[in-house]
Amino acid sequence: MLRKRKIKLAVLFISLLTVILVLLSMALSSVSLNYVTELGNVAVATDIKNNENISTTLFKKIAYLSSKEYSNRFNEFNDVVVILAKQVKEEFSNSTNPKESDLNNHIKLERYKNKNLFVNTKDNINAIYWGKGTQGVPNSISQKMNSISGLIATHSNLFIKSLNITSIWVFAAENFAVIYPHRFFYNKQDTLNSIEKDYENYKKFYLKQKDIIGFQKTTTAFWIPPYIDIFSGNITISVYSPVLNSLGKPVAFVGIDLNFKKTVKNLLASNILTNEHSSPAAENIDDKYNGFIFVLNKNGHIIALPNKCYELFSLPKRTESRLHNLVLDSQNKLSDSNNPKVKKLSQKILKLGFGTANLNLNNQNYVISFSKIKFTDWSLCYVLNQNSFSRLASKTKVEITTSVKEMKERFASISLLFLILSIGLAVLVFNIFFLKPINRIRLGIKKMGYGDFDVNLEEGGTFEISELAMAFNYLGEELTNYMDSLKTEVKARQAVETEVSIASDLQKSILPKITNEFVNDNFSLFATLKPAKNISGDFYDFFYLTKNKIALLIADVSGKGIHAALFMSMSKALLKSYCFSEPDDPAKVLEKTNNYLCIDNEYKMFVTVFLAYYDIKTGELTYANAGHHGSLLVAGDGKNDNFGLLDNALLGFFPDLEFNTESRLLEKDDLIVMYTDGIIEAVSPANEEYGEKRLTDLIVTNRNLNIDEICSNVIDDVEIFEEGNRFDDITLIVLKRNR
């Protein structure tokens, strides 16, 4: 009876307090909503009143900041090309006495189609020499070209930082050029075809820029207007800097090519104005004139303008661009408009360079804000229909009215719900803080009476009840500590055993077997793996790429345990998958696998791989190496050779690496032995390594046996050598050409 009375009094007290709080909140919210409504009306009125001033100031600021930002971007290219020119000048000075470290052959020049034209046959760098001599490339020229090639290659990170860059180039008065092309835009064969056709124009275009834009000794960098690049066929703008000799005359030009389409597209990208634009970068436009951007060059030619706006500006139909002295120029000018207001706007933009203008077109008022971009002398112009501000303000007023109404309705519903929930919460308070804690203590005492000393009561409720529960928990604490420690130790041991078992099963499941499809008169194949413990860090694989080509790989994964097993499984799957997508170049397989393994590699795991493709008909073995040691070739007459060390990095650490591919031709009875370091680094009790020579001698001695017997003899010999002191895995793949 006493307990029921306490519950009713608590509920009544909390319920009354909740009602008072709800009513007070409703009154305050009503007043707040009225103030919000009045504030919204004032904001709309002010917005409409100051529309013209605000829009003009805003757009003038936008145009200025945008042009300043793009000027800064172009200035960065200025600074880069000036620095490159200084570095090239230093390379020219040092080329007469090259350092030993500078003599690396970055390029290899060969005569092109029996002409006085020499081109680089290596990848990545386009290097051309068009000298008049017939004896080849002079050593002094070759040294300079090698030095410049190495210098330009070190700046390849510029392509990552700015995808607008298409190439970096150096043209010298000594009749040579070095070009580092962007892989997205240049094709080497196309480049050679263009050189054969147009290299004289190519030479004259850059070495005689002073005839096109004027050469000034006080200027360190020059911008070339848009033109058609004769190598790539793309529309390009360039910035270059001359390399001057001691007499102040240019001996070379260093430049950077930018993709014109992407540069213009960046100019037109705006979070405020969303129309598509007409230019070499885009063709579609929006049907409305609410806002758009257009770009003019220093002569008033249109670089970019929405298609629909030709009609708005009373311009003739847009015509394609044309070439003037290799420079791309639009046939349309803004001053070609039939509207005198537009003609006047064009004159104002070209004369002032920075400012605003108001224009009425088709009974619509527009505000135009323009600013000049340095270096390119382009004018960036923003256009906005002033009526859009009024519509925006009217829309704001409607939204404010609707929002206030919705807020009132929502608040009334929430208040009613809050009142109901508060009354229910009051009923539960006494039960939670008094009855339930006491009942938990009663049940805990009952369990302890039956011998369950692991009871741990929640120390909740009032202060007194919490103290009682704390004392009860302390009573059984000493008895449970021992049991908890024992359980923890058992679980840890089981977890380790489970992990080892899973990793071992996973590794065994991914290793291929010698099936009937690998029993062939043309070749013999056998592979084996002997783990040092339950889990191996090695794995191998072999499979058919085509009917007449098989892939062989052997690898060593870092670490042990379930993480290494999972990493091994993923590596094997990736390698096999990319082999089928790259059946002719194992180096490409290693590059793709490396890039994938580098993604989110939190445990910093890596794998060394030796991957080979064997052509069954021709006997050609094409291979690539990722941080693995070499393999062994033993001929039928006993001659042998260790091969395959290509100085390439392992997989999983550094993305975007390039790998090399080489090949060997196998003759009849030739053996290829691929192995891991568990064999050659095996250690005897006398601390002596097994070594490559011991392995080679054993293979040569047993070369006439069946390949499975050869593998068995190698493993037996290593185990005898170690005398049971195994510390690493033993993995072997042996391939023999039978005919």
For 104-164, where are the alpha helices, taking DSSP H only? 139-153, 157-161
Give the three-class secondary structure for 153: helix
- Count the neighbouring beta carbons within 10 Å of the beta carbon of residue 299: 12
Q: What is the mean pLDDT of the chain?
A: 77
Of 65-69, 75-79, 425-429, 689-693, least confident by mean pLDDT is 425-429
Top mean pLDDT of 65-74, 263-272, 464-473 is at 65-74
690 has a pLDDT exceeding 90: yes
Top mean pLDDT of 194-208, 296-310, 657-671 is at 657-671
Q: Rg for the chain (alpha carbons), in Å?
A: 40
Taking each continuous run of H as one helix and of E as one strand, the counts in the chain are 16, 25
Confidence of residue 501 (pLDDT cuts 50, 70, 90): low
What integer is the mean pLDDT of 317-336?
62
CA atoms of 473 and 467, how far apart (whole Å): 10
CA atoms of 203 and 200, how far apart (whole Å): 5
The pLDDT, as a whole number, for residue 64 is: 78
CB proximity list for 559: less than 8 A, separation 6 or greater? 537, 567, 603, 605
418 has a pLDDT exceeding 80: no
Distance from chain centroid for Cα 175: 38
498 has a pLDDT exceeding 50: yes
What integer is the mean pLDDT of 415-429?
66
Distance from chain centroid for Cα 590: 18
Q: Tens digit of pLDDT for each residue in 108-146?
A: 888 877 777 788 877 667 788 877 666 788 888 888 888
Helix axis angle, 2-49 to 51-94, nearest 10°: 80
Give the three-class secondary structure for 339: coil
Q: What is the DSSP string of 418-433?
A: HHHHHHHHHHHHHIII
3-state helix, strand, coil in the chain (%, to 5): 45, 25, 30
SS (H, E, C) 24-61: HHHHHHHHHHHHHHHHHHHHHHHHHHCHHHHHHHHHHH
Confidence of residue 324 (pLDDT cuts 50, 70, 90): very low
The pLDDT, as a whole number, for residue 476 is: 65
CA atoms of 600 and 405, how far apart (whole Å): 50
Of 169 and 154, more confident: 169
658 has a pLDDT exceeding 90: yes
Q: Are the C-beta atoms of 575 and 533 separated by less than 8 Å?
A: no
Of 568 and 663, more confident: 663
The pLDDT, as a whole number, for residue 568 is: 87
What integer is the mean pLDDT of 686-708?
93
Confidence of residue 402 (pLDDT cuts 50, 70, 90): confident
Could you tell me the two tokens for 431? 């039960």
The pLDDT, as a whole number, for residue 212 is: 39
Q: Which of 595, 560, 576 is nearest to 510 (CA)?
A: 576
CA atoms of 548 and 288, how far apart (whole Å): 62
- Beta strand ranges found along 431-537 (DSSP E): 523-530
232 has a pLDDT exceeding 60: yes
CA atoms of 417 and 298, how far apart (whole Å): 68
Q: pTM here? A: 0.43
Of 181 and 606, more confident: 606
- Integer angstrom CA distances of residue 627 from 176, 487, 659, 679: 38, 44, 10, 17
